[in-house]
Homo-oligomer: A and B are copies of this chain.
Amino acid sequence: MRLGKRSFEFENSINILSGYSIVGPKEAEGNFGKEFDIALTDDLWEEKSYEKCECKMHREAIKGAIKKAGIETENVDLILAGDLLNEISASNFAAREFNCSFLGLYNACSTFGEAMIIASIFLNSGNFETISCSTSSHFSSAERQYRFPLELGNQRTPTAQWTVTGAGCAVLSRKSRETVKSNVLAVKTEKVDAINSFEVRVTSATIGRVIDMGIEDESNMGAAMAPAAADTLITHFKETGRAPSYYDAILTGDLGLYGKELLAFILKDEGVTLPDYYEDCGAVYFKEEQKCVQGGSGAGCSSTAFCSHFLNKLMRGELKKVLLVPTGALLNKDTPLQKETIPSIAHAVAFESFEIK
Protein backbone atom coordinates (compact mmCIF):
# COMPACT_ATOMS: atom_id res chain seq x y z
CA MET A 1 0.00 0.00 0.00
CA ARG A 2 1.31 3.38 -0.95
CA LEU A 3 1.62 5.76 2.00
CA GLY A 4 2.89 8.81 0.16
CA LYS A 5 4.72 9.81 -2.98
CA ARG A 6 7.77 7.75 -2.05
CA SER A 7 6.75 5.45 0.83
CA PHE A 8 5.08 2.04 0.92
CA GLU A 9 3.70 -0.32 3.53
CA PHE A 10 3.59 -4.00 2.63
CA GLU A 11 0.29 -5.64 3.54
CA ASN A 12 1.62 -9.12 2.76
CA SER A 13 4.38 -10.74 4.79
CA ILE A 14 7.76 -10.18 3.14
CA ASN A 15 9.93 -12.53 5.19
CA ILE A 16 13.68 -12.58 5.35
CA LEU A 17 14.62 -16.25 5.14
CA SER A 18 18.32 -15.65 5.60
CA GLY A 19 21.22 -13.24 5.47
CA TYR A 20 24.74 -14.26 4.50
CA SER A 21 27.95 -12.29 4.59
CA ILE A 22 31.51 -12.82 3.38
CA VAL A 23 34.21 -10.30 4.25
CA GLY A 24 37.92 -9.71 3.93
CA PRO A 25 40.49 -10.08 6.72
CA LYS A 26 40.44 -6.43 7.82
CA GLU A 27 36.65 -6.44 8.08
CA ALA A 28 36.79 -9.60 10.17
CA GLU A 29 38.90 -7.71 12.71
CA GLY A 30 36.29 -4.95 12.91
CA ASN A 31 33.36 -4.56 15.26
CA PHE A 32 31.11 -7.15 13.57
CA GLY A 33 33.98 -9.59 13.13
CA LYS A 34 32.54 -12.59 14.88
CA GLU A 35 29.20 -12.45 13.12
CA PHE A 36 30.13 -12.81 9.46
CA ASP A 37 29.52 -16.18 7.84
CA ILE A 38 32.89 -16.30 6.10
CA ALA A 39 35.95 -14.21 6.94
CA LEU A 40 38.68 -14.49 4.31
CA THR A 41 42.28 -14.77 5.40
CA ASP A 42 43.50 -12.90 2.31
CA ASP A 43 41.77 -10.50 -0.05
CA LEU A 44 42.23 -12.56 -3.23
CA TRP A 45 40.53 -15.80 -2.09
CA GLU A 46 42.66 -17.88 -4.46
CA GLU A 47 41.69 -15.72 -7.44
CA LYS A 48 44.08 -13.92 -9.76
CA SER A 49 42.64 -10.43 -9.34
CA TYR A 50 40.71 -8.37 -6.79
CA GLU A 51 37.86 -8.11 -9.28
CA LYS A 52 37.64 -11.88 -9.61
CA CYS A 53 37.73 -12.17 -5.82
CA GLU A 54 34.85 -9.71 -5.53
CA CYS A 55 32.89 -11.73 -8.04
CA LYS A 56 33.59 -14.95 -6.13
CA MET A 57 32.53 -13.36 -2.83
CA HIS A 58 29.33 -12.14 -4.48
CA ARG A 59 28.54 -15.55 -5.97
CA GLU A 60 29.31 -17.41 -2.74
CA ALA A 61 27.23 -14.95 -0.72
CA ILE A 62 24.20 -15.69 -2.91
CA LYS A 63 24.87 -19.45 -2.70
CA GLY A 64 25.40 -19.22 1.06
CA ALA A 65 22.20 -17.25 1.64
CA ILE A 66 20.17 -19.71 -0.45
CA LYS A 67 21.58 -22.67 1.47
CA LYS A 68 21.12 -20.97 4.81
CA ALA A 69 17.51 -20.25 3.89
CA GLY A 70 16.98 -23.99 3.53
CA ILE A 71 15.87 -23.74 -0.09
CA GLU A 72 17.30 -24.74 -3.46
CA THR A 73 18.43 -22.40 -6.25
CA GLU A 74 15.44 -23.44 -8.37
CA ASN A 75 13.17 -21.98 -5.68
CA VAL A 76 14.68 -18.54 -6.23
CA ASP A 77 12.56 -16.59 -8.72
CA LEU A 78 14.88 -13.68 -9.23
CA ILE A 79 18.33 -12.39 -8.40
CA LEU A 80 18.57 -8.66 -7.74
CA ALA A 81 22.18 -7.58 -7.45
CA GLY A 82 24.61 -4.71 -7.79
CA ASP A 83 28.15 -3.72 -6.91
CA LEU A 84 30.72 -0.98 -7.40
CA LEU A 85 32.73 -2.43 -10.27
CA ASN A 86 32.18 -0.72 -13.61
CA GLU A 87 29.10 -2.18 -15.30
CA ILE A 88 28.37 -4.06 -12.02
CA SER A 89 30.52 -6.86 -13.32
CA ALA A 90 30.81 -8.72 -9.99
CA SER A 91 27.02 -9.12 -10.04
CA ASN A 92 26.86 -10.07 -13.73
CA PHE A 93 29.48 -12.77 -13.38
CA ALA A 94 27.94 -14.00 -10.13
CA ALA A 95 24.47 -14.20 -11.73
CA ARG A 96 25.94 -16.29 -14.57
CA GLU A 97 26.22 -19.20 -12.13
CA PHE A 98 22.51 -19.30 -11.31
CA ASN A 99 19.69 -20.47 -13.51
CA CYS A 100 17.46 -17.60 -12.36
CA SER A 101 16.01 -14.39 -13.75
CA PHE A 102 18.40 -11.52 -13.15
CA LEU A 103 17.94 -7.77 -12.87
CA GLY A 104 21.10 -5.72 -12.36
CA LEU A 105 20.87 -2.62 -10.18
CA TYR A 106 23.06 0.38 -9.54
CA ASN A 107 22.55 3.03 -6.92
CA ALA A 108 26.17 2.99 -5.68
CA CYS A 109 26.43 2.10 -1.98
CA SER A 110 22.66 2.34 -1.53
CA THR A 111 22.06 -0.56 -3.95
CA PHE A 112 21.29 -3.00 -1.12
CA GLY A 113 18.37 -0.75 -0.12
CA GLU A 114 17.28 -0.48 -3.76
CA ALA A 115 17.32 -4.28 -4.13
CA MET A 116 15.31 -4.86 -0.94
CA ILE A 117 12.68 -2.31 -2.04
CA ILE A 118 12.25 -3.76 -5.53
CA ALA A 119 12.13 -7.27 -4.03
CA SER A 120 9.50 -6.23 -1.48
CA ILE A 121 7.25 -4.55 -4.05
CA PHE A 122 7.63 -7.57 -6.37
CA LEU A 123 6.90 -10.06 -3.57
CA ASN A 124 4.01 -7.99 -2.26
CA SER A 125 2.45 -8.03 -5.75
CA GLY A 126 2.00 -11.78 -5.45
CA ASN A 127 3.89 -12.54 -8.65
CA PHE A 128 7.07 -13.73 -6.97
CA GLU A 129 7.70 -16.09 -4.10
CA THR A 130 11.43 -15.83 -3.35
CA ILE A 131 14.01 -13.21 -4.37
CA SER A 132 17.67 -12.83 -3.46
CA CYS A 133 19.15 -9.35 -2.88
CA SER A 134 22.90 -8.95 -2.88
CA THR A 135 25.63 -6.32 -3.14
CA SER A 136 29.39 -6.33 -2.89
CA SER A 137 32.47 -4.14 -2.88
CA HIS A 138 36.19 -4.74 -2.55
CA PHE A 139 38.71 -2.27 -1.12
CA SER A 140 41.42 -3.08 -3.62
CA SER A 141 39.24 -3.19 -6.74
CA ALA A 142 37.52 0.06 -5.70
CA GLU A 143 40.80 1.86 -4.96
CA ARG A 144 42.23 1.18 -8.37
CA GLN A 145 38.98 1.81 -10.21
CA TYR A 146 37.91 5.01 -8.46
CA ARG A 147 41.13 6.41 -7.03
CA PHE A 148 44.76 5.38 -7.46
CA PRO A 149 46.71 2.16 -7.93
CA LEU A 150 47.43 0.76 -4.47
CA GLU A 151 51.10 0.56 -5.42
CA LEU A 152 51.30 4.35 -5.31
CA GLY A 153 50.81 4.23 -1.56
CA ASN A 154 48.82 7.48 -1.54
CA GLN A 155 48.06 9.10 1.78
CA ARG A 156 44.41 9.14 2.81
CA THR A 157 42.65 12.46 3.34
CA PRO A 158 41.04 13.28 6.71
CA THR A 159 37.55 12.68 5.29
CA ALA A 160 38.38 9.43 3.45
CA GLN A 161 36.47 6.23 4.08
CA TRP A 162 37.58 2.64 3.69
CA THR A 163 35.72 0.57 1.09
CA VAL A 164 34.53 -2.62 2.74
CA THR A 165 35.74 -5.86 1.16
CA GLY A 166 32.61 -7.90 1.44
CA ALA A 167 29.47 -9.33 -0.12
CA GLY A 168 26.12 -9.57 1.62
CA CYS A 169 22.99 -11.37 0.46
CA ALA A 170 19.51 -11.58 1.95
CA VAL A 171 16.84 -13.98 0.69
CA LEU A 172 13.34 -12.52 0.86
CA SER A 173 10.26 -14.65 0.50
CA ARG A 174 6.50 -14.80 0.80
CA LYS A 175 7.13 -18.06 2.65
CA SER A 176 8.02 -17.80 6.29
CA ARG A 177 11.13 -19.29 7.83
CA GLU A 178 8.87 -21.58 9.83
CA THR A 179 7.18 -22.95 6.68
CA VAL A 180 10.47 -23.41 4.87
CA LYS A 181 11.89 -25.17 7.91
CA SER A 182 8.97 -27.63 8.00
CA ASN A 183 9.17 -28.22 4.25
CA VAL A 184 12.87 -28.81 4.32
CA LEU A 185 12.73 -31.06 7.33
CA ALA A 186 9.99 -33.09 5.67
CA VAL A 187 12.20 -34.02 2.74
CA LYS A 188 15.67 -33.83 4.24
CA THR A 189 17.43 -34.75 7.37
CA GLU A 190 20.13 -32.13 6.91
CA LYS A 191 20.22 -29.61 9.71
CA VAL A 192 18.79 -26.25 8.70
CA ASP A 193 20.76 -23.50 10.29
CA ALA A 194 19.61 -20.33 11.96
CA ILE A 195 15.95 -21.05 12.53
CA ASN A 196 15.22 -18.97 15.57
CA SER A 197 12.07 -17.92 17.28
CA PHE A 198 11.43 -14.68 15.40
CA GLU A 199 10.31 -13.96 11.85
CA VAL A 200 11.89 -10.85 10.35
CA ARG A 201 9.83 -8.98 7.78
CA VAL A 202 10.24 -5.96 5.53
CA THR A 203 7.25 -3.89 6.55
CA SER A 204 7.71 -0.56 4.80
CA ALA A 205 10.09 1.41 2.63
CA THR A 206 10.84 4.83 1.18
CA ILE A 207 12.51 5.23 -2.22
CA GLY A 208 15.20 7.88 -2.46
CA ARG A 209 15.59 10.73 -4.91
CA VAL A 210 18.80 12.21 -6.23
CA ILE A 211 20.10 15.10 -4.12
CA ASP A 212 23.13 17.17 -5.02
CA MET A 213 24.16 19.96 -2.65
CA GLY A 214 27.25 20.84 -4.64
CA ILE A 215 29.95 18.86 -2.82
CA GLU A 216 32.94 18.59 -5.16
CA ASP A 217 35.40 16.63 -3.05
CA GLU A 218 35.22 12.93 -3.93
CA SER A 219 37.16 12.18 -0.76
CA ASN A 220 34.27 13.54 1.28
CA MET A 221 31.39 11.35 0.29
CA GLY A 222 29.83 11.53 3.76
CA ALA A 223 29.16 15.22 3.12
CA ALA A 224 27.73 14.47 -0.33
CA MET A 225 25.44 11.71 0.97
CA ALA A 226 24.22 13.19 4.28
CA PRO A 227 21.65 15.51 2.60
CA ALA A 228 20.23 12.55 0.66
CA ALA A 229 19.94 10.52 3.86
CA ALA A 230 18.25 13.47 5.57
CA ASP A 231 15.79 13.87 2.70
CA THR A 232 14.84 10.19 2.76
CA LEU A 233 14.55 10.05 6.57
CA ILE A 234 12.37 13.17 6.70
CA THR A 235 10.19 11.79 3.89
CA HIS A 236 9.97 8.40 5.59
CA PHE A 237 8.88 9.85 8.95
CA LYS A 238 6.43 12.23 7.28
CA GLU A 239 4.81 9.75 4.90
CA THR A 240 4.60 6.86 7.38
CA GLY A 241 3.50 9.15 10.21
CA ARG A 242 6.18 7.59 12.41
CA ALA A 243 8.52 9.36 14.80
CA PRO A 244 12.20 8.31 14.91
CA SER A 245 11.39 6.69 18.30
CA TYR A 246 9.13 4.17 16.50
CA TYR A 247 12.33 2.27 15.67
CA ASP A 248 14.72 0.74 18.17
CA ALA A 249 17.54 0.99 15.63
CA ILE A 250 18.09 3.53 12.84
CA LEU A 251 21.06 2.76 10.64
CA THR A 252 22.38 4.78 7.75
CA GLY A 253 24.62 3.04 5.22
CA ASP A 254 28.07 4.51 4.97
CA LEU A 255 28.08 8.18 5.89
CA GLY A 256 31.11 7.69 8.12
CA LEU A 257 31.81 9.65 11.32
CA TYR A 258 31.69 13.10 9.78
CA GLY A 259 28.70 12.34 7.54
CA LYS A 260 26.84 10.97 10.52
CA GLU A 261 27.44 14.19 12.43
CA LEU A 262 26.39 16.22 9.41
CA LEU A 263 23.17 14.23 9.05
CA ALA A 264 22.21 14.92 12.69
CA PHE A 265 22.96 18.62 12.08
CA ILE A 266 20.82 18.82 8.93
CA LEU A 267 17.95 16.92 10.54
CA LYS A 268 18.02 19.11 13.65
CA ASP A 269 17.67 22.12 11.38
CA GLU A 270 14.57 20.47 9.94
CA GLY A 271 13.12 19.77 13.40
CA VAL A 272 13.94 16.06 13.48
CA THR A 273 16.09 14.79 16.33
CA LEU A 274 17.61 11.36 15.87
CA PRO A 275 17.68 9.15 18.96
CA ASP A 276 21.00 8.44 20.73
CA TYR A 277 20.97 4.91 19.37
CA TYR A 278 21.07 6.14 15.75
CA GLU A 279 24.10 4.55 14.12
CA ASP A 280 25.86 4.49 10.76
CA CYS A 281 27.05 1.10 9.48
CA GLY A 282 30.19 2.72 8.05
CA ALA A 283 31.03 4.67 11.19
CA VAL A 284 30.70 1.61 13.43
CA TYR A 285 32.19 -1.00 11.05
CA PHE A 286 35.87 -0.78 11.96
CA LYS A 287 37.68 -0.26 15.24
CA GLU A 288 39.49 3.02 15.82
CA GLU A 289 42.90 1.36 15.87
CA GLN A 290 42.26 0.01 12.35
CA LYS A 291 42.85 3.54 11.01
CA CYS A 292 39.97 3.65 8.55
CA VAL A 293 39.62 7.39 9.11
CA GLN A 294 35.89 8.10 8.76
CA GLY A 295 34.87 4.43 8.70
CA GLY A 296 33.69 1.88 6.17
CA SER A 297 31.93 2.49 2.86
CA GLY A 298 31.01 0.61 -0.30
CA ALA A 299 28.03 -1.37 -1.53
CA GLY A 300 29.18 -4.25 0.70
CA CYS A 301 29.23 -2.08 3.83
CA SER A 302 25.54 -1.92 4.72
CA SER A 303 24.76 -5.33 3.20
CA THR A 304 27.37 -7.23 5.24
CA ALA A 305 26.64 -5.25 8.40
CA PHE A 306 22.91 -5.87 8.02
CA CYS A 307 23.16 -9.51 6.94
CA SER A 308 25.26 -10.33 10.01
CA HIS A 309 25.03 -8.28 13.22
CA PHE A 310 21.74 -6.47 12.72
CA LEU A 311 19.76 -9.29 11.10
CA ASN A 312 20.99 -11.64 13.83
CA LYS A 313 19.68 -9.23 16.44
CA LEU A 314 16.31 -9.05 14.66
CA MET A 315 16.18 -12.84 14.34
CA ARG A 316 16.88 -13.21 18.04
CA GLY A 317 14.25 -10.61 18.86
CA GLU A 318 16.82 -8.31 20.46
CA LEU A 319 15.84 -5.61 18.00
CA LYS A 320 12.17 -5.28 17.10
CA LYS A 321 12.01 -2.44 14.61
CA VAL A 322 14.97 -1.44 12.49
CA LEU A 323 15.19 1.26 9.83
CA LEU A 324 18.07 0.72 7.42
CA VAL A 325 18.99 3.63 5.14
CA PRO A 326 21.78 2.65 2.72
CA THR A 327 23.37 5.74 1.15
CA GLY A 328 25.06 6.11 -2.22
CA ALA A 329 27.26 8.68 -3.96
CA LEU A 330 26.43 8.58 -7.66
CA LEU A 331 29.74 9.63 -9.18
CA ASN A 332 32.18 7.78 -11.37
CA LYS A 333 35.90 8.31 -11.78
CA ASP A 334 35.44 10.78 -14.63
CA THR A 335 32.66 13.01 -13.32
CA PRO A 336 34.83 14.93 -10.80
CA LEU A 337 37.49 15.31 -13.52
CA GLN A 338 34.78 16.87 -15.69
CA LYS A 339 34.02 19.34 -12.85
CA GLU A 340 30.78 17.75 -11.77
CA THR A 341 29.57 17.79 -8.18
CA ILE A 342 28.45 14.58 -6.44
CA PRO A 343 24.78 13.59 -6.64
CA SER A 344 23.65 11.20 -3.92
CA ILE A 345 20.73 9.00 -2.96
CA ALA A 346 19.46 7.06 0.03
CA HIS A 347 16.72 4.45 0.33
CA ALA A 348 14.96 3.52 3.60
CA VAL A 349 13.82 -0.02 4.42
CA ALA A 350 11.99 -0.89 7.64
CA PHE A 351 12.28 -4.34 9.21
CA GLU A 352 10.23 -5.76 12.05
CA SER A 353 10.74 -8.83 14.15
CA PHE A 354 7.68 -10.96 15.02
CA GLU A 355 7.70 -13.75 17.56
CA ILE A 356 6.78 -17.14 16.10
CA LYS A 357 3.91 -18.50 18.18
Contact = CB atoms under 8 A, between A and B. Distances in A.
Interface of A: 1-2, 5-6, 8, 48-49, 51-52, 77-78, 82, 84-89, 92-93, 95-96, 98-108, 114, 117-118, 121-122, 124-125, 127-128, 207-212, 330-335, 338, 340, 343, 345
Given A103-B105, A103-B114, A104-B114, A334 B121 contact: no
Number of copies of this chain that the complex holds? 2
A48 B338 contact: yes
A121 B117 CA distance: 13
20 contacts: A1-B127, A2-B127, A8-B127, A49-B338, A52-B338, A78-B207, A84-B87, A86-B334, A87-B108, A87-B332, A88-B106, A89-B334, A96-B210, A98-B209, A102-B207, A103-B107, A103-B118, A104-B107, A118-B118, A121-B122
B127 A89 contact: no
A105 to B, nearest CB: 6
Contacts of A209: 95, 98-102
Given A127-B1, A212-B96, A335 B102 contact: no
The 9 closest A-B pairs by CB, nearest first: A92-B330, A101-B207, A87-B332, A125-B125, A86-B332, A86-B86, A95-B210, A96-B210, A96-B343
A93 B100 CA distance: 31
Contacts of A333: 86
A101 B127 CA distance: 23
Given A1-B127, A212-B96, A104 B330 contact: yes
Contact of A125 (B82, B86, B124, B340): B124
A102 B106 CA distance: 11
A113 B213 CA distance: 32
Given A101-B209, A104-B105, A125-B125, 17 more contacts: A2-B127, A5-B101, A49-B338, A51-B335, A82-B106, A85-B332, A87-B332, A89-B334, A93-B335, A93-B340, A95-B209, A96-B210, A101-B207, A101-B208, A102-B207, A103-B114, A105-B106
A77 B4 CA distance: 10
